[in-house]
Structure 1
């Protein structure tokens, strides 16, 4: 199969769809990989690295896109829409619940669009979302701590505190992979940490992980309203696969937070769970509303592309190889991969995306 790897176009997105190691694995099995010039530079992979792995370097996006399968990291942006082709396989993060125009274009094109974030194992885990969720969860505290600095517009709070001075308070909405990793980082810094979740089994598991170092609370409206105003750093970590995240924090509740507090919503690419937060970019990551610093970068792991590209490829490569070996027939051979199918034959396939866009189904 011919496989294209275009350079990512999202703002400061330095990850790349296939690492040289993945390219070698495909080429060793007889497939041909076309990598756009400098596609991996931001992640630390040179054109020579790809050539040595067996890839062909092509000069422009069109040459990378004009292949049987395209492997990316982030969803296509409008300048890439004309490059999407009928009967092509597109394998990448899509997050269609928050992207109507992209959904319309995928339907129109006739492409087979498979989303990393909805590939699902029998135990309901999301193997291609998990590695980036781990990174994003850890980065949420790293970035949150940075923007709490006074020079960055924050309150001037050191999350870990010092002897004689109270540490900062971190409130995490959601105890899944993102929330757990955020808590690990926050606890490591010495912050006071609260996690809110509606899954009692998950809260019980988190107790075995953190013991008394984290306050574990059942998430309901009174609990959210009681904890959010006291947060120095509020982290949104709510994910509903294929659907828009529910709004848990209203505009009025944000207004009750202290001036200079920070909000980081990791699920912003799926709509986010905080009413006042909208997507930002690595170039301009924050804005202030109601006196609160909002961070809404939807591709947070792009800040650590060397780590993130390899972590992502460790998980995606087996599925890329199946698609390369069998084409769309791989969807019949692998139920988990089939659950990643979002759009095919000019129609929305994934049930959750159909619910979001019933008029397009």
Structure 2
């Protein structure tokens, strides 16, 4: 049975794969191990085909050091970001560089059999014609996930998915290890890996799409909570109205300010005659989405702008409580509703800065995601990479613990 690779070997590999062209003397400093230990671990990693040379580094007076690199071309991983109404997929090398992307329309309410069938077909299409071995797959789902078991647990917007064995099904289908997480946790992970300055920071990453969720980052690591349920802010009660949420409760943030709520309120406004733009779009398409509200707002429609501003205010009021409680360095906003730009973002910022404690907002930055719509797939790729480069998974792949060279 695999016992896991030694911690110092995993540390050396991590130091190489998270930096560009690092030298062996630098590894001694970074890993805090002796020169002999680092040299032995580098030799073992080279023998396994994980490390290669990247030329010579600058000399400090003696022999120029040889620089090392991860052999990113040795394999690929697949990342899948499955949302409520769409799915994005990416295949990436072992350094996380995305080689190809694709998008597929889905309705997560169609159930796991149909949706995962489309996931499998999408992954197959991405991998067609590639000879490089697949090392692993990461997938995000729009609901609470038991990360250890690799399955969703009572997800409010995913009927038929409760405890469905997502990891087991995909692992059997593709013959690779699979990791499953909440989609907003993967957005947070994507932000962390895309921004080197985020290392060690405390962040809140908020996705406002069909639903609302948050990914929490503590000291540069995604905080999932005791059972994987941390950050499910969409079901915080924000009002005493009788608006029924899909979770069965009333007055939830998601039911008041999420994308589905915007679409519901937009239909009411269109039918009441308070917005000619929304009424015209409803007549043309037979339905409305939060994207229609954004389009109407961009055309100067006051009713649509008021809807977005109110959603931003309610979301901001909830975030103000979290900011005072958690004191993050940044709040990162993403999702289709945030794509409405300043109509939502300005209202969120105003509410947070007005309602949070001054100390908590002294250096706080509230900004849209730099990754945009690709954040979830970036996070899914890195979820898979973190898994395949763990000690246990390396041991499984390479057949046990390597011997320490003398």
Q: What's the TM-score bracket when you normalise by the shorter of the two chains? A: under 0.3
- Tell me the TM-score normalized by structure 1: 0.28
- Tell me the TM-score normalized by structure 2: 0.26
Q: Which of 1 and 2 has greater Rg?
A: 2
